[in-house]
C-alpha cells in the first residue's frame, strides 16, 4: 500500500481539498477556501500546512473567530449546503469565540466545520498559555464546550485518528437530516506530528446527496389526511429551499389550490407575487397568513422545524387541525404530534402531486382577498410619512424598491427580521437570506461577507441595527481587504429597539434597552441619548459611508453606493419605535407571575388566557 508521510495538519488540508458532493448528477467541490485567525495552537500547524502549498484551498484572514465562523455559516446557507468554508482558530479564547457560531449553525441546520486548536495531548508543558484547567478531569479542555452545540465532536489526540475523525465529520456535514456544526479539536502538538497515511485516504471522495423517496405507505397516510381536508395550509420552510423543491411545492399547491405561507428560512424560495403565497406566518408574519392559518383543518409543514415564531407558540392553529410533517429530519417531522413523513422535500412533494387524483380544496375568494388586503398594508408601511423623521419601515421600503430582483438581502436579529418577514418582497429565488433559528446578533454584517463570497456576481445588502454593529462588525475590514462591495444598511434607533418594544408590550417601562448616558442625578441610565457617528467609524476601515436622515438622502446614497468600488455603509438614523406591529399573532415569553406593576399583572393574565388556547405539544 502506498503511503504518504505528512503531519496531521498537512493531511487534514490534503483531505479537505479532495472532498466533493453530488446532487441530481451535479458535482461540486465541497471545500475551496478556509477562514483562519492564526495564533499559537494553529499557526505552526494548520497555518504551516496551508502556507506550504500543494493544495487548491484559498485562505481568508478572519478578524474575529466568531465573526468569521458566522460568515462561513452564511456562505454554506447561501450555497444551499453544497459547499463550506472551514474555520481554524488558536487555542483558548480563540477557540471559544467560535462556540456561538457553532450554535448558530446547528440551530439553523447549516454545515459548519470548526477546527479549534487545543492544548497539548502529551501534557508535558501544561499548563500552557491560554489553557483553562479543570480539577475534575485533566483530560477536559475548553473545546469540550463545543460538544453542546455540535452534531459531531472529536478530539484528534494521535495523528492517525484523523482518518476516522475526518470521515465522520464529512458524514455529518453532508447529511441533510443530521447536518449542523462539526468540531475537530486539534491539540497543538498533534497538528505537527507525522504519520504515514495511506494514499487512498486522499483520493477524490464524492458524497452523494441521494434524495430519500417517500415510501408508498407514507404517501398513503399523507394523502388520506390531505385529501380529506377542506382547507389545508402549506408552510414553506428552509428545507424546501435546501432541497431545491420550490417548483415542486408550487406545483402541488397550484394543482390542489392550497395556499402556502413562508417561514423566515423558506421566504424567497418562491416569488411574493405567486397568487397562493400568503406571506410570512407566525409571530413575525403578516395578516394574510395569520388570518387564514386558524381556518386550516390540515397543516402541511414542509421542511420546517416549526419554531415558536412560526406557530405563534403553538397557538395559531386550531386544536383539532392535523399536521403532516414532511421533512428529511425525523426529529422535525413529528413535531406538533404530526404524521411524520420522512423523505426529501422535492421527492415527497412530487409524489403527492401525482397522487392528488383531482383533489381540490374548498378555499375560495378569501385567500385572494386576504393577500390583497395585506399587500395594501405593505404599501402603506412603505409609503408612510413620519413628522419626526425617517421611519424604519419607510427606509426598508425605499431599499426594497431600489434593489434589483437578483440582489440578496441578509438579516438576523432585532426588529428588522419581523419587518422583513412581513414586508419584504422577494422576486427572485434565494434573494432573502435570514438567519432566524438562533437570531444571532452579529450574523448580519459578517454573514453578508459569506453571502458575497458565495455569490460574488450579486449585490448583497445587510440589514442590522446599531446594537448589532457594536457587537460584531470586524469582517467589514475583510470585505475591504478582499475588495468586495457589500452594502451595509445600519438602522440606528439608539438602542435595542426590538427588546424595548417587547419590554413595553409586556407591561414594563423602558429599562436598560436604550443607549443613554448615565444620569449623575438619578444614578440611572436615563440621561441623554448617546449620539454615535457610525459612518465615521466605518470610514476609518476604508468603507464608503453615508449618514442618512431623510428619504431623499437615502435615495441618493443608494444610487451612488451602487457605483462604488469598495464596500459601503449607510448610517440610517431612523425614528425609534417605528417598526411594524404584530398581526393576529402571539408569542409566549416569561412574564412575571407576581408584580407590583398593574400593567405587568395584566400582561400575565393575557399570557394565561393565550396558553389555554395553545396546543400542549
Per-residue confidence at 466, pLDDT binned at 50, 70, 90?
A: very high
Q: Are 189 and 220 contained in the same domain?
A: no
Strand, helix or coil for residue 205: strand
Q: What percent of the chain has pLDDT over 70?
A: 100
Q: Which residues contact 208 (CB under 8 A, 6 or more apart)?
A: 21, 22, 23
Cα-Cα-Cα-Cα torsion 125, 128, 133, 135, nearest 10 degrees, comes to 20
In a domain, 507, yes or no: no
Q: Are 421 and 333 contained in the same domain?
A: no
In a domain, 581, yes or no: no
- Domain range enclosing 445: 384-494+530-573
In a domain, 505, yes or no: no
Ordered alpha helix ranges (H), 461-575: 466-471, 475-482, 497-505, 534-541, 551-561
Per-residue confidence at 497, pLDDT binned at 50, 70, 90?
A: confident
Domain end residue (candidates: 344, 369, 394):
369
Per-residue confidence at 260, pLDDT binned at 50, 70, 90?
A: very high
C-alpha to C-alpha distances, 223 to 217, 229, 259, 341, nearest whole angstrom: 10, 10, 17, 11
Rg (CA), the chain: 25
Please write the tens of the pLDDT for every residue from 354-380.
999 999 999 999 999 999 999 999 999
Q: Are 179 and 87 contained in the same domain?
A: yes
What is the reported pLDDT for 501? 86
Q: Are 569 and 432 contained in the same domain?
A: yes
Q: What would the mean pLDDT of 289-316 be, rounded to a whole number?
A: 97
Q: Are 440 and 303 contained in the same domain?
A: no
How many Cα atoms are found within 13 Å in the side-chain-facing hemisphere of 603?
23
In a domain, 79, yes or no: yes
Q: Are 150 and 232 contained in the same domain?
A: no
388 within 8 A of 575, measured Cβ to Cβ = yes
Q: Are 185 and 257 contained in the same domain?
A: no
Total tally of structural domains belonging to the chain:
3
What is the reported pLDDT for 505? 87
What is the reported pLDDT for 278? 98
Please write the tens of the pLDDT for every residue from 388-439.
999 999 999 999 999 999 999 999 999 999 999 999 999 999 999 999 999 9
Domain end residue (candidates: 173, 208, 243):
208
Q: Are 132 and 60 contained in the same domain?
A: yes
Give the three cell numbers for residue 456: 460574488
Residue of 200 and 507 predicted with greater confidence? 200
Q: Are 244 and 194 contained in the same domain?
A: no
What is the reported pLDDT for 1? 84
Per-residue confidence at 610, pLDDT binned at 50, 70, 90?
A: very high
In a domain, 306, yes or no: yes
Determine the Cα–Cα distance for residues 133 and 286; give it in Å rounded to an integer: 51
CATH number at residue 471: 3.40.50.970
How many Cα atoms are found within 13 Å in the side-chain-facing hemisphere of 50?
22
Phi (first) and psi of residue 69, to 5 degrees: -70, -30
In a domain, 430, yes or no: yes
User: Across the chain, what does the average pLDDT equal?
Assistant: 96
146 within 8 A of 116, measured Cβ to Cβ = yes
Q: Are 138 and 246 contained in the same domain?
A: no
Q: Are 165 and 255 contained in the same domain?
A: no
Please write the tens of the pLDDT for every residue from 172-188.
999 999 999 999 999 99
Determine the Cα–Cα distance for residues 377 and 580; give it in Å rounded to an integer: 11
Strand, helix or coil for residue 226: helix
What is the reported pLDDT for 235? 98
CATH number at residue 364: 3.40.50.1220
In a domain, 22, yes or no: yes
Give the three cell numbers for residue 451: 453571502
Amino acid at each position: 500500500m502506498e503511503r504518504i508521510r505528512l503531519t496531521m495538519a498537512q493531511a487534514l488540508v490534503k483531505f479537505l481539498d479532495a472532498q466533493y458532493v453530488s446532487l441530481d448528477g451535479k458535482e461540486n467541490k465541497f471545500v475551496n477556501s478556509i477562514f483562519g485567525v492564526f495564533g499559537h495552537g494553529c499557526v505552526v500547524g494548520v497555518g504551516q500546512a496551508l502556507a506550504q502549498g500543494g493544495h487548491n484551498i484559498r485562505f481568508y484572514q478572519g478578524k474575529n473567530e466568531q465573526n468569521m465562523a458566522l460568515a462561513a455559516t452564511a456562505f454554506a446557507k447561501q450555497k444551499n449546503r453544497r459547499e463550506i468554508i472551514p474555520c481554524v482558530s488558536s487555542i483558548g479564547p480563540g477557540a471559544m469565540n467560535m462556540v456561538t457560531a457553532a450554535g448558530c449553525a446547528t440551530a439553523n441546520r447549516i454545515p459548519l466545520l470548526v477546527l479549534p486548536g487545543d492544548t497539548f495531548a502529551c501534557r508535558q508543558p501544561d499548563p500552557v498559555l491560554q489553557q483553562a484547567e479543570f480539577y475534575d478531569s485533566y483530560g477536559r479542555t475548553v473545546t469540550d464546550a463545543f460538544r453542546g452545540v455540535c452534531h459531531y465532536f472529536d478530539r484528534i489526540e494521535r495523528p492517525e485518528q484523523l482518518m476516522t475523525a475526518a470521515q465522520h465529520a464529512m458524514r455529518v456535514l453532508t447529511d441533510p437530516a443530521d447536518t449542523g456544526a462539526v468540531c475537530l479539536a486539534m491539540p497543538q502538538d498533534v497538528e505537527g506530528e507525522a504519520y504515514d497515511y495511506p494514499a487512498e485516504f486522499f483520493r477524490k471522495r464524492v458524497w452523494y446527496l441521494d434524495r430519500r423517496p417517500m415510501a408508498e405507505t407514507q404517501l398513503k397516510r399523507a394523502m388520506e389526511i390531505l385529501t380529506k381536508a377542506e382547507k389545508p395550509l402549506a408552510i414553506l420552510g428552509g428545507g424546501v429551499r435546501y432541497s431545491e423543491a420550490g417548483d415542486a411545492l408550487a406545483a402541488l399547491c397550484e394543482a390542489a389550490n392550497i395556499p402556502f405561507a413562508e417561514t423566515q428560512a423558506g421566504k424567497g424560495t418562491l416569488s411574493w407575487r405567486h397568487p397562493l403565497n400568503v406571506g410570512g406566518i407566525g409571530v413575525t408574519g403578516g395578516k394574510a397568513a395569520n388570518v387564514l392559518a386558524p381556518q386550516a383543518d390540515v397543516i402541511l409543514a414542509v421542511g420546517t422545524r416549526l419554531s415558536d415564531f412560526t406557530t405563534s407558540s403553538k397557538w395559531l392553529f386550531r386544536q383539532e387541525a392535523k399536521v403532516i410533517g414532511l421533512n428529511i429530519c425525523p426529529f422535525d417531522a413529528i413535531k406538533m404530534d404530526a404524521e411524520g413523513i420522512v423523505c426529501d422535500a422535492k421527492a415527497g412533494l412530487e409524489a403527492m402531486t401525482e397522487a392528488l387524483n383531482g383533489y381540490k380544496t374548498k378555499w375560495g375568494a378569501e385567500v385572494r382577498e386576504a393577500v390583497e388586503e395585506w399587500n395594501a398594508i405593505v404599501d402603506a408601511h412603505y409609503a408612510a410619512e413620519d413628522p419626526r423623521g425617517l421611519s424604519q419601515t419607510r427606509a426598508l421600503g425605499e431599499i426594497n424598491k431600489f434593489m434589483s430582483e437578483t440582489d440578496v438581502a441578509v438579516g438576523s436579529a432585532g426588529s428588522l427580521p419581523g419587518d422583513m418577514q412581513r414586508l419584504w418582497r422577494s422576486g427572485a429565488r434565494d434573494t432573502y437570506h435570514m438567519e432566524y433559528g438562533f437570531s444571532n446578533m452579529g450574523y448580519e454584517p459578517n454573514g453578508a461577507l459569506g453571502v458575497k463570497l458565495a455569490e460574488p456576481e450579486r449585490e448583497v445588502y445587510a440589514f442590522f441595527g446599531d446594537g448589532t454593529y457594536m457587537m460584531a462588525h470586524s469582517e467589514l475590514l475583510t470585505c475591504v481587504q478582499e475588495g468586495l462591495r457589500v452594502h451595509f444598511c445600519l438602522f440606528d434607533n439608539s438602542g435595542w429597539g426590538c427588546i424595548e418594544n417587547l419590554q413595553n408590550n409586556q407591561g414594563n417601562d423602558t429599562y436598560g434597552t436604550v443607549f443613554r448616558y448615565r444620569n449623575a442625578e438619578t444614578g440611572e441610565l436615563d440621561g441623554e441619548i448617546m449620539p454615535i457617528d457610525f459612518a465615521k467609524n466605518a470610514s476609518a476601515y476604508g468603507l464608503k459611508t453615508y449618514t442618512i436622515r431623510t428619504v431623499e438622502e437615502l435615495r441618493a446614497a443608494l444610487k451612488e453606493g451602487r457605483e462604488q468600488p469598495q464596500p459601503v455603509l449607510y448610517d440610517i438614523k431612523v425614528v425609534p419605535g417605528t417598526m411594524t406591529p404584530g398581526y393576529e399573532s402571539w408569542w409566549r415569553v416569561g412574564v412575571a407571575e407576581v408584580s407590583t406593576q398593574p400593567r405587568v399583572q395584566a400582561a400575565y393574565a393575557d399570557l394565561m388566557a393565550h396558553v389555554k388556547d395553545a396546543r400542549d405539544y
